[in-house]
Every structure is written in structure tokens, then in C-alpha cells.
Chains A and B, each alone.
Chain A
Amino acid sequence: MDIQSIEGTIHPGEYQAVEKSVPTGVKTLKVDLDWSGHEHPGTDSITLTITPPEGAVLGPYRDGVDGRTDEKIALTLSESGSLPSGTWKFLIFGENVPGAGTEYTLNVGY
């Protein structure tokens, strides 16, 4: 299966914004931010904040929010009807990462 994802490198104190278009009629959204597998030692910390097209900010989320400390943030978003369609904004913040930066991938699916 061809998984579409956006990849980036986040540096200390840096903010990166990603926009993704969510179609209408989506009931659940799976968000997966993964910065594991880096070669440098230690555990990095990245935060994820999600802003739907309408409404307030979700987050910030950190590693462990999903019950696992694995340098990944895996979330399932749902709503009783369907989630708002349009441009969703994802803000990634390099909270505790090395100067050379940490690579990550952000996948969002429905």
C-alpha cells in the first residue's frame, strides 16, 4: 500500500506547520507522528498541536499521550457526526531535539 506522508526535520525550538485537506464525511481521522529510529542517543521530545478548520486547538500532544513512550504520537480523532472538512493544520514543535534536528513523518488517514 502506498502510504502518503509528509516528512521533515525539526530543530530545537522550531515550529513547522503542515496543512492537510480532509474531505467531507470523514468520521474518524488517524494521526500518526513518528520521530523514532534516529541514530543519535537519547529520547527526543516533539509536540503536536492540531487545529481543525472550525473550532479550537487540540493538544498539544507529547510522546506518551497514547499510552506508549515510543517517540510516536498515534491518535484517533472522531466525532458523533462527521469531522469538519477542509484544511486541518498540524503544528510540530521541536521541544527537546538535538541541534542537527530530528527527522519525522506525519501521516493522516481516514
Chain B
Amino acid sequence: MRVELHGKMIPLFIFLTLALLLLWSPVAAKIIVEPGPPELPTDVTYIDDERFVPVWQAYTPSEFLVIVLLIHYPLLAMPVELVCSAGAFALLGYRSSRHPLAHKKRSLIYACIRDHPGITSIEIARATGINRGTTRYHLLRLREAGLVSVVHPGGRKGYFRNGDYDATEKAACFHRRNSVRCEILGLILDGPGVTQAEVADVTGLSRPVAAWHLQRLVDDGLVESDRDGRTVCYSLTSETRAVFQGLGRSNGKEVLGPQSETDAADPGGAPQVAQTAFVHTERQA
């Protein structure tokens, strides 16, 4: 009787296993994969936001193990994935690096952004000693994780920790990292209604360069211009004044003290950050 029962159980066991295999598949069930056209289609938009990534960075060990097994030993892939999802790696003392800040370089970059709001990716690379490509990669990951945001997404990007600043504060932080615009903001704070010629005289800039910097401040809503005949006068917007007053210091020089040494004269030039500006961060790291 017992043997007979076993005889009935075996097909049932095989059936259940097959049913489980059909229900659980490593292939995403929702996505339909079909053969594509033999030649490259020309009526599609090709993705140019692409990069090579080290395999160990792109995949977690368990993800990669499953893929390797799928390529070489497909039958082993499912049991291994089940074991992995059951927490075998945790039992072995492996800590998953899924948390966006679990990566050492990424947390260093994040700390650098926290300490230097408005910092650019080139400045971060210089401050942390991490090469530019890697810095850009981790910045992308931080943005994807919603931990940092940028101002000027179309041009030179300034990075901020999310949730710390509103739009005006971000713009103010970004521009005060440039010593020329920092000085101009100080001038306007001290003397509302200052003209383009006066800005050029005090800063020693040519008038077109002064105009270029002023226009950037106007474009970002920090400064408003008021035309009086042929003269244009500049003053801080109420939001910008509130930002500086919110810092609790009426002294413009203190509020607007340059956070980084920048190559001020060339409007298109990349600001040069003094290494000393980041000594504190590097020591923290």
C-alpha cells in the first residue's frame, strides 16, 4: 500500500514542480520579446545616454551569478536565484550594496555636495580625487536615487543635496561659487540700483563681460533689471534679499564671501577651484 502511494505521489510531485517552473520564470513575464527587423530601422530614436560600466558595478553578485548560470547552466539558475532571494548571502555575511550610499566613493561625493552646495562635477572630482568619469557616473546614480538635484541642467551643473534648498537658495549658492558674480551680488546688495557701468568700474571687468555676468544673475531670478532711458539699474529680487537676510547676516561680504576661487574674467571659462577650499572635506573622508 505504501509503495502504491509513493507511485502516485511521484507524478504529482513532478507535476507540481513543472507548474512551479512555469509560474516562476526568470524571464519577465510582462515584457514581450519578438524578433526585430534584419536591418537597423531608421525611424526610431536611438538612445545616446549610454555607457560601459564595470560588471561588478552594474550587477549585484547574486544578479550576476544568476545571469552567468543562465548563460552556462540554465537549469541551475532558478534554484540559485531562490537561494539568493532567501537570504543566503546575508547568512554568509555578504552585505548587499543596493543602498545608493553604500558605495564608498558615492558617499564621499555625496558628503562633498553636502559641504559645498552648488559644486560642479569637475570641482567634485578635483576635491575628492575621484576621476571625472567615475564622478559623473556616481552623480547620475545619486540623481536617479533622488538624493541630489542640479541647477542649470542644460549647462554647467551645480549639485545640491535634495531637500535642503529652494530654487532661489540653489541659484544663490551656485553663483556665489563664482568669485566675480559673488562680488557683483555684494555690490548690488550694498547699493541697489547699481548700473552696468558701475559694476564694470568696481570689478575691473569690461562692460560686455560685466553685462554677461549680470544677465546670468537676471536669468536665474537673483537680480532684477530696471531700464531708465539708456541706463539699466540692477537690484536684488525680494527672494534673493530674503535668502541673504535668512542667513542672519546683513554684511554682504560675509554672506557673499567666495566659496571657491574661480577664474572670473572669462565668461565661458571653467572656474578653477583652489585645492584649499576642500581640505576639510578630504580630511573628513
Contacts and interface: CB of A to CB of B under 8 A. Distances in A.
**A and B co-occur in one complex:** yes
B27 A60 contact: no
A4 B58 contact: no
B52 A30 contact: no
A87 B46 contact: no
B10 interface: no
Contact of B34 (A78, A87, A89): A78
A30 B58 contact: no
A8 B36 contact: no
Nearest to A86: B144
Contact of B36 (A49, A66, A93): A66
B70 A59 contact: yes
Interface string A64-106: 0111101010111111100100110101010100000000000
B55 A91 contact: yes
* Tier of interface size on chain B: 35 or more
* Tier of interface size on chain A: 35 or more
B55 A16 contact: yes
21 contacts: A17-B52, A17-B53, A19-B50, A19-B58, A20-B49, A32-B36, A51-B59, A52-B28, A56-B25, A57-B26, A57-B27, A57-B63, A74-B35, A74-B37, A75-B34, A78-B34, A80-B30, A89-B59, A91-B55, A109-B46, A109-B47
Interface of B: 25-28, 30-38, 40-42, 44-55, 57-59, 63, 66-68, 70-71, 144
Given A89-B59, A93-B71, A108-B47, 9 more contacts: A18-B51, A18-B52, A19-B53, A30-B44, A66-B36, A77-B34, A79-B31, A91-B67, A109-B46
